[in-house]
Amino acid sequence: MAVRKTLLTLAAPLALLALSACATGLPTQVQRFQAMPAPSGQSFVIEPADRDMQGGLEFSRYADLVRRNLVAQGYSEAASRSDATMVVTLDYGVDNGRERVEATPDPFGPPGWGFGWGRRPYFSRFGYFGWRGDPFYWGWDYDIRSYTVYTSFLDLNIRRAADGQSLFEGHAQAHSQTDALTTLVPNLVEAMFTGFPGNSGETLRITVMPEQQGRQQRQPR
């Protein structure tokens, strides 16, 4: 019986990653270093790390999410860079993805009728699937599933405008089966601002839950 191959582009095993950032929450690793001053009249401007993104509609959308979070913290948006006491730099992106392969026993393949007498599957650390002789093996058929995992990130840096002194350095990273930035970046921003500014040097695993579930889960690592 031939090994069956199934391409999964929308779903992955729950043990590996969230099925969807919208449906099940997006587990995100967040690391923050900070020396943020308590809000006392400071103002800010938000700039892209890539100058080519300045003024772009996509960047403006995500910058507005950061702006609203900073305002909620008690800081105010400056009218111009020259008026700001803090400069916020925002960067984000997602890679091209990596294919993952998983083999699970086929419950409908009875022992002795899977790979045939004297044959059993083997897997290398590179994901290669092959055959290996075993005269005593009565194996199950296996279902081979392939899917793509994407790694997304968000970097948020805040510096004092007067002298460039670093006040906040944050990095958020997540794995998902979607590469849609419109889904990923809002979740990464929310994770970044969960418990903001946080304990300097601490790395957390934060799961941003769907809106209807109403809260974030924070686990120190």
Give 24-41 pLDDT, tens digit per residue.
Answer: 688 999 999 999 999 999
Taking only the tens place, the pLDDT of each residue in 160-194 is: 999 999 999 999 999 999 999 999 999 999 999 99
pLDDT-derived band at 106, boundaries 50, 70, 90? low
pLDDT over 50 at 117, yes or no: no
Predicted local confidence at residue 141, as pLDDT = 63
| Token representation of residue 86 | 């803090």
In the chain the domains, ranked by start, together with CATH numbers, are 6-98+147-220 (3.30.160.670), 107-140 (no CATH)
Taking only the tens place, the pLDDT of each residue in 58-105 is: 999 999 999 999 999 999 999 999 999 999 999 999 999 998 887 777
How far apart, in Å, are the Cα atoms of 69 and each of 149, 167, 196, 210?
Answer: 29, 16, 9, 18
**Distance (Å, rounded) from C-alpha 172 to C-alpha 31?**
6
Predicted local confidence at residue 178, as pLDDT = 92
Look over the chain and give the mean of its residue pLDDT values, rounded to a whole number: 78
Answer for the pair 167, 37: CB distance below 8 angstroms, yes or no.
yes
CA 52 distance to own-chain centroid: 24
In the chain, which ranges are E strands?
4-7, 26-34, 43-48, 76-77, 86-94, 98-105, 118-123, 129-134, 142-160, 166-176, 202-208, 216-220
3-state secondary structure of 26: strand
Mean pLDDT throughout 191-213?
86
123/141: higher pLDDT: 141
**Distance (Å, rounded) from C-alpha 49 to C-alpha 45?**
13
How far apart, in Å, are the Cα atoms of 77 and each of 42, 85, 193?
Answer: 9, 10, 17
- The stretches of 74-217 forming alpha helices (DSSP H) are 181-192
pLDDT-derived band at 209, boundaries 50, 70, 90? confident
How far apart, in Å, are the Cα atoms of 139 and each of 49, 94, 103, 134?
Answer: 54, 40, 13, 10
Answer for the pair 28, 174: CB distance below 8 angstroms, yes or no.
yes
**Distance (Å, rounded) from C-alpha 153 to C-alpha 155?**
7
Answer for the pair 150, 185: CB distance below 8 angstroms, yes or no.
no
